[in-house]
Chains A and B, each alone.
Chain A
Amino acid sequence: MSDANQKFKAWWLLSPTLLLYSLTFLLPVLLLVVMSFAKFENSVTEFGFYLGNYRKVFGDGITLLIFWRTVKLSVYITVACVVLGFPVAMVMRRAGPRGRLWLLFFIVSPLLTSIIVRNVAWVLILGRSGIINDTLREWGLIASPLPLMYNSFGVVLAVVHVYMSFMVLPIYGALQAINPSTEEAAASLGASPLRVFWFVTLPQSLPGLAAGCTLVFILSMGVYLTPVIMGGNFVVTLPMLITDVVRNQYNWPTASAMSLMLLVAIGAMVLVSSVVQKFGGRH
């Protein structure tokens, strides 16, 4: 079969997906771009080429601050997922089939629960009269309840709980692909377990780690409901701000400019991740 024929066949196979993404992603993004240059005045939207929305986003002194706080929150969540998720992935790799299945179920189970139920459960655990505070008070360890929720701690905890699987599974996949003889060789040459992990296991699992970080970071940048419930509205993320601008001000143009900023940031993250994965793959 000729090259041209093969290329044609490849495009033909891709066409349903391309069509779907064009309609559900590219077209809406295009509309978002057009809307971001519209003017919103006196509650009425007028289309045109108006830069005021971007001036507001970059110059109002609050949108950028909230954007950076969203990035910071996403970094916290990603780091927490790495710290807690890497050991789990390593245990999964060494566990037997039954143990692996249990761990997998344990990690994936938050995704099977409704987001509202999950967050209400957290309220029952972390709240002022929740299990933790009540127990600590009964034991006489604290006099007044600890502030475990309605702050960044509560948000990070609740988000890590559900996004952990997006970190563990790619790392586990990468770990499974490592040839154990490379680690055994390093150990037989006198490397301590820590050195084996640091110089053999970790570098080879880098593509999985990068994929996990990318997934968790991107999902965290878009997280909305959990900060609302667990952060008591004090932890403001950019999606919360965008929702407020649309829902309470009906200002689609400014919200579009904010959304594009978020999209560009996520695009940049994907780019960085692909570079890291390429580097990791070569290594």
Chain B
Amino acid sequence: MIKQLSISRRRALKTTAAAAGALATPYFFVKAHAASDPKVLRLYNFDGTLGDFYTEHWYNPFRDKFDMKLEFIRLKGSRVPLEKVQAQIGAGQPETDLFPLHPDQLIFAKRNNLAMEIPRSAIPEYDNVYDEFISDYGPCLVLWSYGLAYDTEAVSPAPTSWKALWDPAYAGRVALNEALKDQTLQMVNLAFKGQLYPVDDETFSHLSDIRPNLVALWSSGADAEQLFRNNEIVMTPFWNGRVTKLKSEGLPLEFVVPDEGFFVRCSVYGIPRNARNPEMALEWLNFVCGHDPQKRMVEFGYGTPNKLVEHTPEQAKAVIVADPEVVKKAVAEDFTHILDNNAAWTDMWNKWKAS
């Protein structure tokens, strides 16, 4: 005879809670253990092909060399969500052990004590890195060249000036960069005033003039790529790396350095304060400053801070910043000025958009 099992509601609840706790404990233990594991390095990775390149040539070889486990957080675009990271650092738990910082983000990080200072002696490979690419917070590892991208089949003759964006022949076929509106505003000034600052009413009156040509304001490099792929636009200010990628897909695109000058920005790789694994983060920085990872970077189409890496003529053309004559056209941006005026510029920008 089977005895009927009876169980009170209270007992059932207690048993369920105890079982859930017992089952969850190993999970939290494993998570906590992973968080402090010296063999785990957490990193941000860029989206698109640059992220894929990093994985193949910067991350996986390091993982294999040091028998590490790498955990990635994929970024949308190239900017780390510093506002979030700031809160995490404040709470003592940044989600990664390294972060790439755009120049304005580096200033913000300095002001808010978000990044660890890295002495030169901590990275032996600094001996092979140009001085101008070494900061107190880490090496400048990613060189972004920002010029004019255009469709070679639709834009003729090839543009030589930023002012080509204003050409009425391209009405409704041009896009501008909303994500880095500071760069857009400086570009307008460069085209019409021959200098980057001040950003003022005159700047915005030129922006109003370009309005009939604008189809969209893109908010990430991936968005701009899609605009080219969908044949929505024929010209936009863009990064050389993205153009190289689209060309490899068969799109008839070209990147040009306008006569008025172009922009070169460099992202510093730093270590967030309170990072869980700063030792391995330093090891990684030393590794990627080395010859092989940097040589791969040049082959991929980006500039390098490593003195020992040589360029073939084709690589120099793709990399943009390898040609000293071209580098002379790079304009010197004032990132402190940009950061401190960002709010005012954004208000003016939004008023312009709403007008």
Give the B-binding residues of A (Cβ under 8 A). Answer: 42-44, 60-62, 65-66, 69, 120, 123-124, 127-129, 147, 150, 228-229, 232-234, 236, 241, 244-252, 254
Give the A-binding residues of B (Cβ under 8 A). Answer: 79, 81-83, 86, 107-108, 111-112, 172, 175, 178, 181, 215-219, 223, 226, 230-232, 339-340, 342-343, 346-347, 350-351, 353-354
Tell me whether B354 and A232 are in contact (CB under 8 A): no
Chain B residues near A150 (CB, 8 Å)? 215-216
Contacting residue for B231 out of A43, A128, A252, CB 8 A: A128
Tell me whether A248 and B216 are in contact (CB under 8 A): no
Contacting residue for B217 out of A128, A147, A234, A249, CB 8 A: A234
The answer for the CA separation of A245 and B339 in the assembled complex, in Å, is 12
Q: Which residue in chain B gives the minimum CB-CB distance to A229?
A: B223
Contacting residue for A62 out of B82, B172, B350, CB 8 A: B350
- Ordered by A's residue number, 17 sampled pairs between the chains whose C-beta atoms are within 8 Å are A43-B107, A43-B111, A61-B351, A66-B350, A120-B226, A123-B230, A124-B230, A129-B231, A232-B218, A233-B217, A233-B219, A244-B346, A247-B79, A247-B81, A248-B181, A250-B86, A250-B108
Tell me whether A62 and B347 are in contact (CB under 8 A): yes
Which of B83, B111, B215, B223 has most A Cβ within 10 Å?
B83
Q: Which residue in chain A gives the minimum CB-CB distance to B339?
A: A43
Chain A residues near B232 (CB, 8 Å)? 127-129
Tell me whether B81 and A249 are in contact (CB under 8 A): no
Tell me whether A248 and B342 are in contact (CB under 8 A): yes
Tell me whether A232 and B83 are in contact (CB under 8 A): no
The answer for the CA separation of A229 and B227 in the assembled complex, in Å, is 11
With A42-B340, A61-B351 as given contacts, are A123 and B226 in contact (CB-CB < 8 Å)? yes
The answer for the CA separation of A247 and B231 in the assembled complex, in Å, is 30
Chain A residues near B339 (CB, 8 Å)? 43
Chain A residues near B178 (CB, 8 Å)? 233
Tell me whether A250 and B231 are in contact (CB under 8 A): no
Tell me whether B218 and A233 are in contact (CB under 8 A): yes
Chain B residues near A233 (CB, 8 Å)? 178, 216-219, 353
Chain A residues near B111 (CB, 8 Å)? 42-44
Tell me whether A246 and B353 are in contact (CB under 8 A): no
| Chain B contact residues, majority secondary structure | helix
With A233-B217, A249-B342, A251-B343 as given contacts, are A66 and B83 in contact (CB-CB < 8 Å)? no
With A61-B351, A66-B350, A247-B83 as given contacts, are A234 and B216 in contact (CB-CB < 8 Å)? yes
CB distance from A83 to the nearest CB of B (A): 27
In the A-B complex, the 8 residue pairs with the closest CB atoms: A232-B216, A233-B217, A233-B178, A43-B111, A129-B231, A246-B83, A150-B216, A62-B350
Tell me whether A250 and B347 are in contact (CB under 8 A): no
Tell me whether A236 and B108 are in contact (CB under 8 A): no
The answer for the CA separation of A254 and B347 in the assembled complex, in Å, is 13
Chain A residues near B108 (CB, 8 Å)? 43, 250
Contacting residue for B230 out of A44, A129, A228, A251, CB 8 A: A129
The answer for the CA separation of A254 and B232 in the assembled complex, in Å, is 35
Extra inter-chain contacts (17) besides given A236-B350, A248-B181, CB under 8 Å: A44-B112, A61-B351, A62-B354, A66-B350, A66-B354, A69-B354, A127-B232, A128-B230, A129-B232, A229-B223, A232-B215, A232-B217, A245-B346, A247-B81, A249-B343, A250-B86, A251-B343
The answer for the CA separation of A267 and B219 in the assembled complex, in Å, is 31
The answer for the CA separation of A252 and B82 in the assembled complex, in Å, is 12
The answer for the CA separation of A248 and B336 in the assembled complex, in Å, is 14
The answer for the CA separation of A234 and B219 in the assembled complex, in Å, is 11
Chain B residues near A69 (CB, 8 Å)? 354
Chain B residues near A248 (CB, 8 Å)? 181, 342, 346
CB distance from A228 to the nearest CB of B (A): 6
The answer for the CA separation of A167 and B108 in the assembled complex, in Å, is 44
Tell me whether B82 and A65 are in contact (CB under 8 A): no
Chain A residues near B112 (CB, 8 Å)? 43-44
Chain A residues near B181 (CB, 8 Å)? 248
CB distance from A129 to the nearest CB of B (A): 5
Contacting residue for B82 out of A120, A147, A241, A250, CB 8 A: A250
CB distance from A70 to the nearest CB of B (A): 12
CB distance from A45 to the nearest CB of B (A): 8
Chain A residues near B218 (CB, 8 Å)? 232-233
Which of A62, A66, A241 has most B Cβ within 10 Å?
A62
Chain B residues near A65 (CB, 8 Å)? 354
Q: Which residue in chain B gives the minimum CB-CB distance to A244?
A: B346
The answer for the CA separation of A61 and B355 in the assembled complex, in Å, is 12
Q: Which residue in chain B gives the minimum CB-CB distance to A124?
A: B230
Chain B residues near A123 (CB, 8 Å)? 226, 230
Q: Which residue in chain B gives the minimum CB-CB distance to A246?
A: B83
Q: Which residue in chain A gives the minimum CB-CB distance to B82?
A: A250
CB distance from A53 to the nearest CB of B (A): 11
